[in-house]
Chain A
Amino acid sequence: MYAQLGDAVFLVFTLKNLIGATIGIVVGFIFGAIPGLTGNVALGLLVPFTFYMDPLVGIVTLLGIGKGTSFGGSVPAILFNMPGTPQATATAIDGHLLTQKGRSKKALHMALYSSVGGDLLSDLCLLAIAPPLAMVALKIGPPEYAAIIMFSLLIISAFVGSSPTKGLISAGFGLLLGTVGLDLFTASDRLTFNILRLEDGLPLIPMLMGLLVLSEIFLQVRRSYLGSEKTLIEAATQENKKLSWKELKQAFPTIFRSGALGTFVGATPGLGATLGAFLAYNVSKRIGRDRENFGKGSLLGVASSEAGNSAGTGANLIPLVTLGIPGNVEAALILGAFMIHGITPGPFIMEKQGTLLYAIFLSLILANFLLLALGFAFIRVSRSILHLDRSVLFPIILLMTTVGAYSISKEFIDVGIMYLFGILGYLMRRFGFTPIPMIIAFLLGPLLENGVRLSLRLSGGDPSIFFSRPISLVFALFSLATIAWMFFAALKKRRLRKAV
């Protein structure tokens, strides 16, 4: 471990790596600050470009986007009460009230320090926890792996969107799409419709860009024509004083507690940074300092939510690298980038690519300091970014995605596939279905199938193998409990409605 860590240090401090991290953070700032253009869109856009980069630089660039987006989203939340990203929603509660009181600079600085603090904590946890967890993961066989994937898939699908049932339907279609291509065991064609390109399965990146980037842009176009953008510019006020050392020192316990909570939530597949932010905010509101001012414009309120969401963003890598399970869509896109570079996350990653993995972890820690330095500059220029003309921006992003989809395989069919999935993603979101479970299920589907079919081979076709081994039994029971919980929650909701 220490030898790998030592080798990794030399890989981290290179100019290319620093430039990659800087580009990622800056792109993340911009995409995070423009409401609707989330980190997923930026990741979807940049994933194809990393194909031409060194693996470490490419992945660090993408991870830098996550860091940049996490803070970038809080800027419009604080200035205009318009969260740039869903995870910045909790920041808007106190952040915008502080702006109305003429303390926007303090709020933005607190958001930056808390974001860096929470992220740093989660990165240190990643460095400390991931390798031993990967060792434990080595002991996991096909039945356990299948049960864990199944449970994660259920949790992600049930919690990601507004409706668990729709999330699960979306995941089911994702599993089906994951079966397209040559069968893993018999090498026979499955749902390829005699299209040669589909023998390798549906192309991942065009599909992701379609479902996330294109659908988001079309939704944004629709939204722009409702006039909601006007208030965004007019509400800005310019003032005021910097955050004092005393105020920052008072926030340290809050940042630490919220960061720890965010890390725990982020490391659990499917729960995500938004939940981390709200959980951290609520805990601080109940037990933290200055709790009487929460909801009235408290700097510690901003610190709680920002540390919670940034820690959650970083911790998403824990299940990804140790088990190969992407906890959210950003992690799914990072998984796509890992795969592009021939890196297979999962239990064996420490054995096979330990040095590279440590280099990624160390780069993440280094990127936090870059985030701090760049963040101050970004606060200064943030207002001008919010004035970007969308009628120019959206067509350019569409052109970039088209070129990006083509550039990977140099096949026109990939561009067509991207647009088909763009239309599908748009329609899904219009009808209340989130495409995120579909993407995660598409990525996890082949792993799940592999686990299920290998287990059945081991047991001679007896499905009781999933209930006869302790770890798989626990996760199978968790899965059943999740479905039961969903059923009873739906019943309870219905009873409450009847009572009203």
Chain B
Amino acid sequence: MKATADAKMALFILSVCILLLFWTIPANVEKGSARLMPYLSVVWVGLFAFWLLVAGLREKPLQDKEEEAALIDKKDLGAGESRIVILLFMIWGVYIFLLPLLGFYTGGFLTLLASMRTLGKRSGKPLWVWSFGAPVGIYLLFEIVLQLRLPKGKLIETLLSVFAVS
């Protein structure tokens, strides 16, 4: 019997449940009534994952594929272009990682520039106007209107202090 995508997913979820039941919850939740809800939640997930597994195993893989294709078509999720999404995840992942260093404004400008280029805005005035304008807009909204200071980043603050001293 060949497993369908749903059956594989159910197996993965069941493994997570086992991990949660026998390791994560006992190690991170005090004994007693505090464990009631975490255990109940995992049992809930486990039961329905088992249901999904049974349903998945009883499905014919071909039929399953057809259904998934129909579902994807229905939701207009598309078929292959994950590369662009992964690239975007990476750009924004780097931005978040460097946030304490570059801050919201400089980091935002660079990230917008990279993201827009990745999404197809290769050149021209709009690329620069929006990349520069959006952080300026955020600065005006947060720092001027809402009076909320956003970190400018250690690098920028150091540079500013150097220039201020000199």
Chain A contacts to B: CB under 8 angstroms? 49, 52, 162, 165-166, 168-169, 171-173, 175-176, 178-179, 183, 185-186, 188-193, 218-219, 221-226, 228, 389-392, 394-396, 398-400, 402-403, 406-407, 412, 415-416, 419, 423, 426, 429-432, 445, 448-449, 452-453, 490, 494, 497
B41 touches A173 (CB 8 A): yes
Chain B contacts of A219 at CB under 8 A? 77
Chain B contacts of A162 at CB under 8 A? 71, 74-75
A453 touches B33 (CB 8 A): yes
B116 touches A392 (CB 8 A): yes
Tell me, in angstroms, the Cα distance from A280 to B44 when the chains sit together. Answer: 35
B58 touches A394 (CB 8 A): no
A390 touches B112 (CB 8 A): no
Chain B contacts of A395 at CB under 8 A? 111-112, 115-116, 119, 134
Interface size (B, Cβ < 8 Å)?
66
Supposing A389-B126, A396-B130 touch, asked if A452 and B41 sit within 8 A by C-beta, the answer is no
Supposing A169-B52, A172-B48, A179-B37 touch, asked if A402 and B95 sit within 8 A by C-beta, the answer is yes
B78 touches A223 (CB 8 A): yes
B68 touches A432 (CB 8 A): yes
Tell me, in angstroms, the Cα distance from A49 to B28 when the chains sit together. Answer: 34
Supposing A391-B116, A395-B111 touch, asked if A183 and B84 sit within 8 A by C-beta, the answer is no
Question: Which one, A179, A191, A222, contacts B84 given CB within 8 A?
Answer: A222
Supposing A173-B45, A221-B84, A395-B119 touch, asked if A186 and B108 sit within 8 A by C-beta, the answer is no
B3 within 8 A of A: no
Tell me, in angstroms, the Cα distance from A396 to B138 when the chains sit together. Answer: 10
How would residues 115 to 149 of chain B score, 1 for a CB under 8 Å from any chain A CB and 0 otherwise? 11001110000100010001100100010001010
Chain A, residue nearest B121 (CB): A391
Chief secondary structure at chain B's binding surface? helix
B119 touches A394 (CB 8 A): yes
Q: Which of B7-33 contact A (CB under 8 A)?
A: 9, 13, 20, 24-25, 28-30, 32-33
A399 touches B49 (CB 8 A): no
Chain B contacts of A225 at CB under 8 A? 78, 81, 84
Chain A contacts of B138 at CB under 8 A? 399-400, 403
B48 touches A191 (CB 8 A): no
Question: Which one, A175, A189, A400, A407, contacts B40 given CB within 8 A?
Answer: A175
Supposing A396-B112, A494-B58 touch, asked if A407 and B76 sit within 8 A by C-beta, the answer is no
Q: Sort A-B residue pairs by CB-CB distance and give the 8 closest, nearest first.
A: A172-B45, A391-B119, A395-B115, A176-B41, A175-B41, A172-B44, A188-B30, A183-B34
Q: Can you give 12 contacting A-B residue pairs, CB < 8 Å?
A: A172-B48, A173-B45, A176-B41, A178-B37, A183-B30, A188-B34, A218-B88, A226-B76, A400-B138, A403-B142, A407-B148, A452-B37
Chain A contacts of B104 at CB under 8 A? 402-403, 406
Tell me, in angstroms, the Cα distance from A347 to B27 when the chains sit together. Answer: 37
CB distance from B98 to the nearest CB of A (A): 11
B162 within 8 A of A: no
Question: Which one, A172, A398, A403, A432, contacts B71 given CB within 8 A?
Answer: A432
A169 touches B13 (CB 8 A): yes
Chain B contacts of A396 at CB under 8 A? 112, 130, 134
**Residue among B20, B51, B74, B82 with most chain A CB within 10 A:** B51
How would residues 33 to 60 of chain B score, 1 for a CB under 8 Å from any chain A CB and 0 otherwise? 1101110111011001101100100100
Chain A, residue nearest B147 (CB): A52
B85 within 8 A of A: yes
CB distance from A217 to the nearest CB of B (A): 9
Supposing A221-B84, A391-B120 touch, asked if A191 and B29 sit within 8 A by C-beta, the answer is yes
Chain A contacts of B81 at CB under 8 A? 222, 225-226
B85 touches A392 (CB 8 A): no
B52 touches A166 (CB 8 A): yes
Supposing A165-B48, A415-B96, A453-B36 touch, asked if A192 and B85 sit within 8 A by C-beta, the answer is no
B160 within 8 A of A: no
Supposing A165-B52, A395-B119, A399-B138 touch, asked if A430 and B92 sit within 8 A by C-beta, the answer is no
Chain B contacts of A452 at CB under 8 A? 36-37
B41 touches A399 (CB 8 A): no
Chain A contacts of B48 at CB under 8 A? 165, 168-169, 172
B150 within 8 A of A: yes
Chain B contacts of A172 at CB under 8 A? 41-42, 44-45, 48
